[in-house]
Amino acid sequence: MSSTTEPIIQSPPSTRTLLLLGPPGCGKGTQAERLARNFSIPAISTGEMIRAEIRASSELGKIAAGVTITGGLLSDELVNKIIKSRLSQPDCAAGFMLDGYPRTVDQARYLGELMAGMGFSQPSVVHIDVPAEQLIARTCNRRFCPQCGSIFNLQSHPPKEAGLCDNCHIELQQRSDDCEETVKNRLAAYERSTAPLIDFYQSRDYLRVDGTRSPDVVFQSILDSLH
């Protein structure tokens, strides 16, 4: 009597795995989009993963929905399970980029073990670094179009016509939390949670990038430094 076992799916030998670190307002979103397109890998954020599980009404999604509805924080165990589920999807076979995970050293250790078990090489860590005073200025000068979602910055990327969206020609708005006090609080929280993570990764494949330069220069610097 013969028996069958489920095959172990290993990632292909040539893959690109990236972790993107950086404080709020450093330009991670812009670089994530460019890097994902350049390497033909999915850019995955923690929020997107959780929303996808909830939309799919998976067991993990149902648990996550129950927690988020009550305003609670998802446990490391639950987030780790969602990560494992997402990285098992076919579009991650040739690599992926994570933005917003891991957030703690414990999560980083789990991710390292998970990737090793799945046959992935350990990730290259890209840390986009921008001084706090510049981040505050960037964020407080940020404006968005309520119709098309375009983002402008009164300092570095102003609209062609003051106060109006270049595409929709309607009045730009400012997010209620894009004020100095809120930004300072967000940066303080980021420093508390991420400083130990940066220390953890610095002895590995770690790249610090000066995020004060233009998006094109930052992108090219990342490409030149990756190997």
**What is the average pLDDT across 108-121?**
94
Catalytic residue status for 204:
no
Instruction: Identify whether 192 is a catalytic site residue.
Output: no
Question: Could you tell me if 65 and 3 are in contact, meaning their C-beta atoms sit under 8 angstroms apart?
Answer: no
Largest CA distance in the chain: 77
- 175 flagged as catalytic: yes
Q: Which of 34, 86, 138, 142 is catalytic?
A: 142
- Residue range 152-183, pLDDT digits in tens: 988 878 999 999 999 999 999 998 777 888 88
Angstrom distance (rounded) from CA 130 to CA 213: 9
Reported pTM? 0.74
**Catalytic-labelled residue, pool 51, 81, 84, 103:** 103
Which of the four pLDDT bands, split at 50, 70 and 90, describes residue 138?
Answer: confident
Taking only the tens place, the pLDDT of each residue in 187-225 is 888 888 888 999 999 988 999 999 999 889 999 999 999
Extents of the domains making up the chain: 16-220
Q: What's the CATH superfamily of 16-220?
A: P-loop containing nucleotide triphosphate hydrolases (3.40.50.300)
Among 81, 186, 208, 213, the active-site one is 186
What number is the average pLDDT over the span 12-16?
63
pLDDT at 5: 40
Check 55, 62, 109, 175 and give the catalytic one.
175
Amino acid making up residue 62: K
CB 66 within 8 A of CB 115: no
Across 21-25, 106-110, 118-122, 127-131, least confident range: 21-25
Q: Is 103 a catalytic residue?
A: yes
Active site residue 37: no
